[in-house]
Amino acid sequence: MLSFLDVLKQSMELGASDIFVVAGKPLSYKKGKMIYQLNDEKVMPDYSKHLVEEAYQLANRELSRLMENGDDDFAISVPNLARLRVNCYKQRGSLAAVLRIVAYGIPDYKEIGISEEVMSLATKQKGLILVTGSAGNGKSTTLACILQRINETRSGHIITLEDPIEFLYRNEKSIVSQREIGLDTMNFVTALRSSLRQSPDVILVGEMRDYETIQIAMTAAETGHLIMSTLHTVGAVNTIDRIIDIFPPNQQQQVRVQLSMALKTVVSQQLVPTVEGNLVPVFEVMHVNNAVRNMIRESKVYQIESVIGMSGAEGMVSMDNSLFDLVSKGRITTETALQYALHPELLEKRLNGNLRR
């Protein structure tokens, strides 16, 4: 039987992004959008328990958290190899785990395909910036690259509130304080309130999970801080709707007004398979200008997509435009573009028209 470290080393050699330890199925790993088996041997409950226990030993963490709650999130640092974001859980009476591999160091944004338009968000001084997308689409990596540029170019105090901590930052021009939920502080709400008394310039909130966190984040953004966070939504319109819908109906108009003033930019991203078999990030970028601000305030969010499409000169770009450009450059197929498009029928007409020309 392979040890936990053996499983990690073999998976990394194969280019895995995630590792799956689930009883009843062979050890598996994810590469790109596909899941492959590491070997043919089925994982038995005793073996899955053994691997999970090894993970807890490496993390110097009590297994009792998992046994009491049924699931647990934490991070592991394996010297000279990688950092892991770990989710352990119970399934059908056995212990299971999904491990996300996070390479040491902040990746080079050019190598992984993050655009200069997205990286330029590091120049923002205040307001709320959201990076959104489905789980596993690179939101944390994009935010890490932006934060690292701030760290390299500005003098200030950066506070990250994460569950768990993924990327580690060195203090460069800025001071970076990294706090892990459950280890360094109780929860996002408590940590965010406290951070406002720690002379912050930039605050990263790993995820905005509830209306109380969102409310404090918006207030902090209004009072001169740069707040960066993530949401599991695709597209700027869905993101704004999601934030407003979290609040009770009697507060939603007030939230629209507050959000219209605090929100600066929404970046929505997807990881899309290329013709070479790699993954490339595709971005929608919406900056809040006067037109967008009025649409948020007046509950006309559905009109924002047309503003994004017509505001290229202001640095905005729609998801479908980004996909169209990748097809034009031969990076992705037409079928892939339509699969990931927000409006596949319109994109298909546009692609067919381009082919005829």
**What CATH number is associated with residue 20?**
3.30.450.90
Residues 113 and 95 in one domain: no
25 in the same domain as 161: no
Q: Judge if 283 and 137 occupy the same domain.
A: yes
290 located within any domain:
yes
The residue among 135, 346, 319 whose CA lies nearest residue 237 is: 319
Distances (CA, A) of 223 to 126, 178, 256, 326: 8, 22, 17, 39
pLDDT, tens digit, 9 for 90 and up, residues 302-356: 999 999 999 999 999 999 999 999 999 999 999 999 999 999 999 999 998 865 4
**185 shares its domain with 249:** yes
Both 24 and 67 in a single domain? Answer: yes
User: How confident is the model at residue 355, as a pLDDT?
Assistant: 52
Give the separation between CA 191 and CA 217, rounded to whole angstroms: 11
User: With 0-12 CB in 10 A as exposed, 13-18 as middle and 19+ as buried, what is 345?
Assistant: exposed
234: which 2 tokens?
């695709």
Is residue 334 assigned to a domain?
A: no
Q: Which tens digit of pLDDT belongs to each residue from 150-201?
A: 999 999 999 999 988 889 999 999 999 999 998 899 999 999 999 999 999 9
Same domain? For 82 and 121 the reply is no
159 and 307 belong to one structural domain: yes
One domain, residues 139 and 270: yes
Closest CA to 279 of 107, 80, 116: 107
Supply the range of the domain harboring residue 166: 109-317
Contact yes or no for 176/154 (Cβ under 8 A): no
Quick: pLDDT tens for 10-43.
Answer: 999 999 999 999 999 999 999 988 999 999 999 9
Same domain, 284 and 149: yes
pLDDT value at position 354? Answer: 65
**C-alpha torsion sign, points 129, 133, 134, 139:** negative
Asked which of 85, 102, 119 is the last residue of a domain, the reply is 102
Secondary structure (DSSP) of 277-332: S-EEEEEEEEE--HHHHHHHHTT-GGGHHHHHHH-GGGT-B-HHHHHHHHHHTTSS
Nearest to 263 by CA among 244, 283, 284: 244
Ranges of beta strands (E only) in 51-182 are 71-78, 82-91, 94-102, 127-132, 157-162, 175-180
- Side by side, the strands of the sheet bearing 34-42 are 34-42, 26-31, 18-21, 94-102, 82-91, 71-78
**Do 193 and 267 have their domain in common?**
yes
| Judgement on whether residues 267 and 147 belong to the same structural domain of the protein | yes
Residue type, 127: G
How many domains does the chain fold into? 2
